[in-house]
Chains A and B, each alone.
Chain A
Amino acid sequence: MKNLIEIPELEIQHQDVVTDILSQSITGELIGMSNFASLAGVIDDVHEKMEAVEHANCERQHAEGYLALCKKYNLEPVINLNGHYWKSVRECFLKYAQKKDFIACLVIQEVMLECFAVSMYHDVGTALKNEIGEFFLTISKEEEEHIEHSIDILKEEMAKDPEAFTRKVEEIHKDCMFILAEWTASTDLKGHCGVCKGDCMKNSLPIINLSITSLRGNAMNLYMRTLNKIGLPGQKTLEWVINLPA
């Protein structure tokens, strides 16, 4: 029987790199979903519990959106929550979730991971001038709202005890941002991520006019701006970022 549904096509040379990007995005959203689900299970405050479930559902919807795009374009993503970097990020989050540290979880998920997601989705969306790109831009906007929401909460925490809060964020930064920095370095510092299909996709990004240097740089820029919006001293946060692996 003739297939009546027309399958849109990506330019052939873009297929592998776009598949890898979608694989990372789906895996990342599922990690986010899992993180919020874990948080919902451990925190006591009813309102925070409900909010965590709502966030988990939001991340699930994003993952489903990316999966739907893969199906539509006949792409086969790799979803691997046990790849080195994603697994490390998840373990980092769980360390704080098990301590019922809602603020630390918020910093990891809504500041560190979301800054990378918002910035990288935006850059990919701008580079891919097609339906997939449009979708990345839409999700980037939605995730941006998550950052703004968390800034308000974290500003209040900062106001309570600026020095203690700064020390706390520094500790979380060293735990989580070191993983993200190793992952996004121009040369792999910890081997294959376990999500890209073949070789590391960093080498293929120029095919769609992107580079890991600009993706990482823009993400770090948004991260530093977000920390500054929370009220953390710029001189400190600059030193934190300078000390990251590169």
Chain B
Amino acid sequence: MGNQPPRLKFGVIGHQDNWKKIVDFVNSIRITDGNPELSQAKIKEVYGYFPPTKLFDIQINSKVSGFVEGYYIESFLSPDELGHSHIWNNLKKTREACEKAAQLGVDVVALGGFTSIILESGGANLQAIQGTKFTTGNTLTAALIADSLVKACQKWNQPLKDSTLLIIGSTGDIGSACVRYFSNKVKKILLTARNPAPLHQQEEQLKSEKANCLASTHVSELLPAADLIICVASSVLPENYLDLLQSHAIICDAGYPKNLNSENVKPSQKIYAGGMCLVEEGYCFSPEHFQKNIYEFPLPNISHGCTMESVVLALEGQSLAFSKGRGNINLENMAYILAAAAKHGIVTAPFFNSKGLIN
């Protein structure tokens, strides 16, 4: 017993990525109380004004050490206001959510979705509030993306070393981690991002390391050459991107939200949700009805990798800002967190997309 790590409490700060989920969530509460449902327009009038709030308790079961408990704190960022023009308001709300986590006495907190910007954009002083540590969760997300793509290549007979890999959003925190992981494992690596300066700096760096690479801010120029695609930033894709893809292309939709169109892909093309994991021993929410409205996937016991990073750290008795800043994710940490997660039964998710499991 003396070697057991102390039982820590984890936290997850998140936000909703579409109004449908929010409307369902709000109206489920109103119906329970016998009140009429509200239209999306009415809900939009109030939603963004809610202060960050703990919505439910979470219990995650481990394969080796019982379970760990934590909280989900909703930041109430509006899905319409996730862009750069709202960054200051979003940073303010995220900081308030972090303070809420600290008030609740949480040991280690993962910042899901867009809330991670507070740690990625120079928010160094927010790595901790009192004893509460914050992590973007990006290391586990990147590790899961990399692991899933390696497995996808094996499953669908696309040898990695003979493949051209396109990384969309290559200069971001997760994108750059994927570049580091794959740059010497594939035949050629293609890079794209919105901002040309860091993109070309990244290209120069890779060329100096003798990697075979090409960068462009125009994703349409690169799409036709790609066998494999990791899409961390889906918003840069052109509407006709499916027409530009190779017939055997494998796409890891690793952005947030996951909104790549999987309806019109050819049977030989594969689009799956990346950066996701399966909690083998299961998890539960209390009160449980929240799960139905705001955290449902086509398969049971699925979770985002970023949120599970705080769970793994709590299970391992480590309260620390594991992922912070931008461009700091290294391969050693990716290997460590993926192995630690697997020990507790938190593994790379089976291949699925909005239509369900992919065979």
Contacts and interface: CB of A to CB of B under 8 A. Distances in A.
A235 interface: yes
Interface in A188-246: 213, 216-218, 220-221, 224-225, 228, 234-235, 237-239, 241-243, 246
B35 A243 contact: yes
A221 B45 contact: no
Contact of B49 (A217, A228, A235): A217
B87 interface: no
B331 interface: no
A186 interface: yes
A228 B26 contact: no
Interface size class of A (residues with CB under 8 A): 10 to 19
B50 interface: yes
B54 A217 contact: no
Contact of B30 (A221, A235, A238, A242): A242
Contacts of B56: 235
B27 to A, nearest CB: 9
Given A243-B29, A246-B45, A224 B55 contact: no
Interface string B141-164: 000000000000000000000000
The prevalent SS among residues of A at the interface is: helix
A186 B45 contact: yes
Given A213-B45, A246-B38, A239 B50 contact: no
Interface residues of B, dominant DSSP: mixed
B53 A234 contact: yes
B51 A221 contact: yes
Contact of B46 (A220, A225, A235, A239): A220
A217 B53 CA distance: 16
A235 B33 contact: no
Contacts, number: 51
A239 B56 CA distance: 12
Interface string B25-68: 01001100101001000110110111101111000000000000
A217 B50 CA distance: 8
Contacts of A221: 49-51
Given A186-B45, A235-B56, A243-B35, A224 B30 contact: no
A224 B33 contact: no
Nearest to B41: A186
B46 A246 contact: yes
Contact of B29 (A218, A228, A237, A239): A239
Contacts of A243: 29-30, 33, 35
A216 to B, nearest CB: 8
Contacts of A237: 53
A234 B54 contact: yes
Nearest to A214: B49
B33 A217 contact: no
Contacts of B53: 224, 228, 234-235, 237-238
Nearest to A234: B53
Contacts of B51: 221, 224-225, 228, 234
Interface of A: 186, 213, 216-218, 220-221, 224-225, 228, 234-235, 237-239, 241-243, 246
5 contacts: A216-B46, A217-B49, A221-B51, A234-B51, A234-B100
- List the 9 shortest-distance A-B pairs measured between CB atoms, nearest first: A217-B49, A234-B53, A246-B42, A243-B33, A221-B49, A242-B29, A213-B45, A238-B53, A243-B35
